[in-house]
Amino acid sequence: MTKLIEKTERPPGEDLISKISLPDVFALDDSSESMWVDVIHRMDEVYSELLRNETDLERKNAELEEAQTFISSVVASVSDILIACGSDGVIRKVNPAFLSLVGMQEAAVIGTRIFDYVVEADRGEAERLMSAGHEGRVLEGDLHFSAAYGREECLAMRCAALFDGRRRRFGAVLTGRPISELRRAYQALHQAHLELQQAQRKLIEQEKMASLGRLVAGVAHELNNPISFVYGNIYTLDRYRRSLAHYLKAVHQGADPEEIGTLRRMLKIDAILSDIEPLLEGTIEGADRISDIVKNLRRLSFSKTGELQPVDVDRLLRNAAHLALRAKNSLANLVIESAPGLVIDAHEGQMHQVFVNLVDNALDAVVGRDNPRVWLAASRRDDTIEIVVRDNGSGIREDNLGNIFEPFFTTKTVGEGTGLGLWISFSIIQDYGGTINVRNCGTGGAEFRVLLPLDS
């Protein structure tokens, strides 16, 4: 009996099989026929499997190629240099950034050792970096490379270990970023910064000298008054001494009483005797005043060195304001209202400088005003001391309000203003953890408000 193999499912290649009718080949009994059918089915299955695997393989191959192209383009686009080498330092892969650094083709580089490109002095460091991964961490360091055209380029390197699928270390990958330019730029910046700091220190010193000059002018004025009346009194006392000596000489020489009486009237001996006491008192008062001024001066040191001292706020404001007033020869009316017992821990000289600056500016602002006035007020607000310096002067132009604490900002003519006073005052107050701000008063004039923490 002949039988045609019936196929319901047709895998690829089926046409061949299905078209074979057994009578064309063999005449088979039933068992042989079923065996053949099995074999052919099996072949069909294997063939289909093969085809499936092939498609799969092609797809995976395409994916792999795509991934490789992607990785290569990423590596090529990295501007840092990248070197992958074996544990022995033999280079296996580099990126274009490295090739352009050393000025070579990839084929010439692969197989050479990384140490060949590092300057001799840095080879030890290169070996250290190559040991990365032994301790399980990335190592960092700077390496100088012998670059193209005989140059030497310093690179900040990072080195990580390469591991195979079984976590065995088989090499290292190094990445590096050129820092020679960066270093030069940094050095130039550092140098510029140092010069700037030096210039700044010089300016601060100049401003201190200017402050000192103002202080000296104020002190000179302040001393002038007691010194002149001490002088005056001493001249008068000397004149009295001569009259008394003259009178006593006549008495000792035994002049007659009438002559002594005439001399007594002529030399105004009685007036002299009653004047001596107030003259001496005045002289002592003058000397005390001079001694007070000198004591105040001693407390003022413009340097920040030494311990902070308790500074009596009322005395600080009075001294600063009076010295500023005297130095400027100002006719402004000075009003000082400070709550009693306010004390801050500070370097008195520095605080003095701040308030002389503020009062100085206020006095400048009230020049030419009717009833020129400057107010100073100090009070305590919780853990802060608030000191306000206000004037009824010109005020500050709104568009200048944001700039007046900047160095060199001045609206005064050359020689009158340096534009450093408020900047220095701001820095000093900031150093004490305080703040200083300014506003125009509704009634005209400017108001500076200094807040100082009590535990500064």
Does the protein bind ligand ADP through residue 353 (CB under 6 A)? Answer: no
What's the closest the beta carbon of residue 372 comes to ligand ADP, in angstroms? 12
Does the protein bind ligand ADP through residue 133 (CB under 6 A)? Answer: no
3-state secondary structure the chain: CCCCCCCCCCCCCHHHHHHCCHHHCCCCCHHHHHHHHHHHHHHHHHHHHHHHHHHHHHHHHHHHHHHHHHHHHHHHHCCCEEEEEECCCEEEEECHHHHHHHCCCHHHHCCCEHHHHECHHHHHHHHHHHCCCCCCCCEEEEEEEECHHHCEEEEEEEEEEEECCCCCEEEEEEEEEECHHHHHHHHHHHHHHHHHHHHHHHHHHHHHHHHHHHHHHHHHHHHHHHHHHHHHHHHHHHHHHHHHHHHHHHHHCCCCHHHHHHHHHHCCHHHHHHHHHHHHHHHHHHHHHHHHHHHHHHHCCCCCCCCCEEEEHHHHHHHHHHHHHHHHCCCCEEEEEECCCCEEEECHHHHHHHHHHHHHHHHHHCCCCCCCEEEEEEEEECCEEEEEEEECCCCCCHHHCCCCCCCCCCCCCCCCCCCCHHHHHHHHHHHCCCEEEEEECCCCCEEEEEEEECCC
What's the closest the beta carbon of residue 362 comes to ligand ADP, in angstroms? 4
What's the closest the beta carbon of residue 317 comes to ligand ADP, in angstroms? 16
Q: Which two tokens stand for residue 132?
A: 């990365």
Per CB under 6 A, the segment of 50-58, 173-181, 347-355, 421-429 that binds ligand ADP is: 421-429
Does the protein bind ligand ADP through residue 446 (CB under 6 A)? Answer: yes
Does the protein bind ligand ADP through residue 411 (CB under 6 A)? Answer: yes
Is there a contact between 88 and 113 (Cβ–Cβ < 8 Å)? yes
Does the protein bind ligand ADP through residue 394 (CB under 6 A)? Answer: yes
- Rule CB under 6 A: choose which of 86, 282, 419, 453 binds ligand ADP: 419
Per CB under 6 A, the segment of 141-149, 291-299, 309-317, 409-417 that binds ligand ADP is: 409-417
What's the closest the beta carbon of residue 366 comes to ligand ADP, in angstroms? 8
> Rounded to an integer, what distance in angstroms lies between the CA atom of residue 325 and that of residue 349?
18
What's the closest the beta carbon of residue 360 comes to ligand ADP, in angstroms? 7
Per CB under 6 A, the segment of 95-103, 255-263, 317-325, 415-423 that binds ligand ADP is: 415-423
Does the protein bind ligand ADP through residue 417 (CB under 6 A)? Answer: yes
Does the protein bind ligand ADP through residue 18 (CB under 6 A)? Answer: no
Does the protein bind ligand ADP through residue 85 (CB under 6 A)? Answer: no
- Rule CB under 6 A: choose which of 175, 330, 357, 392 binds ligand ADP: 357
Closest to ligand ADP by CB, 126 vs 404, is 404
- Rule CB under 6 A: choose which of 311, 325, 396, 428 binds ligand ADP: 396
State whether the Cα torsion 81-84-85-87 is positive or negative: positive
Closest to ligand ADP by CB, 122 vs 391, is 391
Per CB under 6 A, the segment of 30-38, 82-90, 100-108, 414-422 that binds ligand ADP is: 414-422
What's the closest the beta carbon of residue 142 comes to ligand ADP, in angstroms? 45
What's the closest the beta carbon of residue 423 comes to ligand ADP, in angstroms? 6
Does the protein bind ligand ADP through residue 418 (CB under 6 A)? Answer: yes
Per CB under 6 A, the segment of 57-65, 174-182, 221-229, 387-395 that binds ligand ADP is: 387-395
Does the protein bind ligand ADP through residue 429 (CB under 6 A)? Answer: no
- Rule CB under 6 A: choose which of 393, 428, 432, 436 binds ligand ADP: 393
Residues 6+ apart with CB under 8 A from 19: none
CA distance readout (Å), 373 to 91, 124, 304, 312, 330: 82, 75, 32, 24, 10
Does the protein bind ligand ADP through residue 409 (CB under 6 A)? Answer: yes
- Rule CB under 6 A: choose which of 344, 421, 450, 452 binds ligand ADP: 421
Closest to ligand ADP by CB, 283 vs 353, is 353
Q: Which two tokens stand for residue 59?
A: 């797809």
What's the closest the beta carbon of residue 266 comes to ligand ADP, in angstroms? 60
- Rule CB under 6 A: choose which of 391, 392, 434, 436 binds ligand ADP: 391
Residues that bind ligand ADP (CB under 6 A): 357, 361-362, 365, 391, 393-394, 396, 404, 409-412, 417-423, 446
